[in-house]
Amino acid sequence: MRKLILTVSAIALAAGLAACGQEQAVPGAAQSAARSTVDIEPRAAAVALTAGLATAESAEVGAFVTDGDGRSLYRFDKDTAKPPTTACAGECATAWPPVMVEDPIALQVTGIDQALLGTIERPEGGRQLTIAGWPAYRFAKDVAAGDLKGQGAGGTWFAFQPDGKKAVAKTAEAAKTVPLTVMKVGKLGQIVTDQAGMTLYRFDKDTAKPSTTTCAGDCAVKWPPVLLPDGAAVAGLDPSVVGSVTRPDGSKQVTVGGWPVYRFSGDKVPCDTNGQGVGGTWFALDATGAKVK
């Protein structure tokens, strides 16, 4: 039986921003250096684990798990660990290829407890690696060793810590910002997205003056609010148009032009706009908070 070795390595973090088009400058916003657009290329919806696993370190999240080639591994909040289940198939599995392995018992591990490794049967067949019960994926836009472009995507995708927990921002600067951007997305033109290129939406049943949110409970499961942690600020948009509103549970939600902003659970990959026009009340928004039709 072939043994695959897990080793500890230090890999420099490569910064990147998922984009659907050329980023548009916003007056008053602090702009970063020009970024090139990288489109998701068609590829098999699975990645065989042939070079083992490893752990790496980054200033952003600390220790995280990679495959043996240094490609980051991610977990998905819509999956479950007890019991292990996967909610990512079809187009989702093209953007987030499952990591496949025949026998995790064959792995020699260093820095990861081997007891945490397992597998789950994929809907299309084959065994997907699990860590602490969570199915493991790569991100199609991670093109170099150490890339963490999928970290925090959609508020549901996170790199693995070596104990199987999701990685969170470690640096004070990262913890203090909620990065948003404006980019061209299909026929909608320039709209607001999160840092991973996931479309953000506003709800006609909310109000902007004053800012109020009417989406809670099951609505907030389908339309997750973009939250603003205590002490954090929104980055990437004109400061005069961003703010926050207190939700019924006491958390703070980001507002643009006074409108509370949300993601849509039906959007699976960057540039998806499946929430546009839903119920005649949900719309993408531009950099001023105006709805885009």
Ordered DSSP codes for 227-281: B--TT-EEESS-GGGEEEEE-TTS-EEEEETTEE-B--TT--STT--TTTTGGGT
Cα angle 10-11-16, degrees, rounded to a multiple of 5: 155
Question: Which parts of the chain register pLDDT below 70?
Answer: 1-45, 50-51, 107-111, 170-175
Virtual torsion, Cα 215, 216, 218, 219, nearest 10 deg: 10
Res 197: pLDDT: 83
pLDDT of residue 155: 82
Give the distance between the most distant pair of CA atoms in the chain: 66
Question: What is residue 190's three-state secondary structure?
Answer: strand
- Tell me how far apart the alpha carbons of residues 263 and 210 are, in angstroms, rounded to a whole number: 21
Q: What are the backbone angles phi and psi of residue 232, rounded to the nearest 5°?
A: -90, 165
Taking CA atoms, 208 is separated from 101, 146, 288, 289, in Å, by: 50, 41, 12, 9
Mark out the alpha helices in the chain (DSSP H runs).
91-95, 172-175, 218-222
Per-residue confidence (pLDDT) for residue 170, from 0 to 100: 66
Token digits for 180?
A: 């948003």
Cis peptide before 225 (omega within 30 of 0): no
Is the preceding peptide bond at 104 cis, omega within 30 degrees of 0?
A: no
pLDDT, tens digit, 9 for 90 and up, residues 76-115: 999 999 999 999 998 899 999 999 998 887 766 666 778 8
Q: Which pLDDT score, from 0 to 100, does residue 271 have?
A: 84
Phi, psi of 265 (to 5 degrees): -65, -20
Report the C-alpha gap between 81 and 55 in whole angstroms. 21
The reported pLDDT for the residue numbered 115 is 84
Q: Return d(Cα 34, Cα 131) in angstroms, integer.
A: 37
Per-residue confidence (pLDDT) for residue 26, from 0 to 100: 38
Q: What confidence score (pLDDT) does residue 110 get?
A: 62
Q: Sketch the domain layout of the chain as residue ranges.
A: 4-159, 177-292
